[in-house]
């Protein structure tokens, strides 16, 4: 069963016929919100609001381990994450979409692995390609069906937050080869890999990153980009769920 993790601007799924909403407990604590089981376009789907519903948990406080664990326990066999991001590369624009294929982790102090305590042996996962390629290709194919223009690859910079970045930090990220920047891409992607859950991301660009324009980044501009772009995200999710 496909699971959707909704980020900023997606705390609930439009059109989702809710079958159950379960408050779950995990060995890692409580997830951000109830795990919602429902139907979308006649297909079963799970949904979890990453920041809670209402939106109140900042990126560095999200219990990523509990979220991923709860989804797997609820029956998830693959996950699509929706992330609001800033654009770094010149081909990014507000309300545009990217399906990243790489990620660089700049976060710190987050509980980032299930393999930390009471181990019989040290465990290492291969993370060369952090996003599941068949799931990425499925999303890209459905975007073609819907004639949704998007960027088919790119590198996501995962920063700590909750503050936005400085112009100098964005320059550094650009020099590192990053195309977009967000605060929730890690450790989510790595935890999914540890649980052997195929994982892909639909990134919605909500602003150009710091120092790339003469404008100051405002929440009003971010909200406008969310409103303008979320319709495409929801259509793409709907189509992908049907094809999954």
Could you read off the pLDDT of 144-182 as tens digits, one per residue? 999 999 999 999 999 999 999 999 999 999 999 999 999
Q: pLDDT per residue over 226-240, tens digit each? A: 888 888 999 999 999
Binding residues for phosphate: 8, 50-51, 184
Angle at 200 between CA 172 and CA 197, to 5 degrees: 120
Surface-to-core class of residue 27, CB atoms within 10 Å of its CB (0-12 exposed, 13-18 middle, 19+ buried) = exposed
Relative orientation angle of helices 219-243 and 133-146, to the nearest 10 degrees: 100
Strand ranges for 41-169 from DSSP E: 43-49, 78-87, 97-98, 102-105, 155-158
Least trusted range by pLDDT, from 32-41, 74-83, 134-143, 164-173: 32-41
What mean pLDDT, rounded, does the chain reach? 91
**Ramachandran angles phi, psi of 20, nearest 5°:** -155, 155
Binding residues for substrate: 183, 207-209
CB 58 within 8 A of CB 150: no
Q: pLDDT per residue over 99-123, tens digit each? A: 999 999 999 999 999 887 776 777 8
Question: Which domains does the chain carry?
Answer: 2-112+129-243 (3.40.50.1580)
- Mean pLDDT computed over 198-226: 88
Binding residues: 8, 50-51, 183-184, 207-209
Residues in the chain: 244
Determine the Cα–Cα distance for residues 130 and 76; give it in Å rounded to an integer. 18
Which pLDDT band, with edges at 50, 70 and 90, does 133 fall under? very high
Q: What is the pTM of this model?
A: 0.92
Determine the Cα–Cα distance for residues 220 and 229; give it in Å rounded to an integer. 14
Position 223 scores a pLDDT of 85
């Amino acid at each position: 069963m496909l699971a959707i993790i909704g980020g900023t601007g997606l705390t609930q799924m439009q059109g989702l016929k809710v079958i159950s909403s379960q408050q779950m407990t995990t060995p890692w604590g409580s997830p951000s919100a109830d795990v919602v089981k429902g139907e979308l376009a006649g297909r079963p789907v799970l949904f979890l609001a990453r920041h809670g519903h209402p939106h109140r948990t900042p990126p560095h406080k999200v219990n990523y381990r509990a979220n991923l664990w709860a989804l797997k326990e609820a029956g998830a066999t693959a996950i699509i994450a929706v992330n609001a991001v800033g654009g770094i590369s010149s081909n990014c624009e507000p309300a545009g979409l990217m399906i990243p294929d790489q990620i660089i982790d700049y976060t710190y102090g987050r509980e980032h692995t299930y393999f930390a305590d009471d181990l019989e042996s040290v465990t290492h996962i291969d993370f060369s390609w952090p996003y599941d390629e068949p799931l990425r290709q499925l999303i890209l194919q459905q975007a073609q069906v819907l004639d949704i223009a998007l960027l088919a690859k790119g590198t996501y910079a995962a920063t700590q937050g909750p503050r936005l970045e400085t112009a100098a930090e964005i320059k550094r990220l650009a020099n590192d080869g990053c195309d977009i920047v967000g605060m929730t891409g890690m450790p989510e992607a790595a935890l999914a890999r540890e649980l052997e859950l195929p994982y892909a991301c639909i990134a919605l660009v909500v602003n150009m990153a710091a120092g790339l324009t003469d404008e100051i980044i405002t929440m009003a501009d971010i909200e406008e980009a969310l409103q303008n772009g979320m319709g495409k995200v929801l259509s793409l999710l709907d189509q992908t769920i049907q094809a999954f």
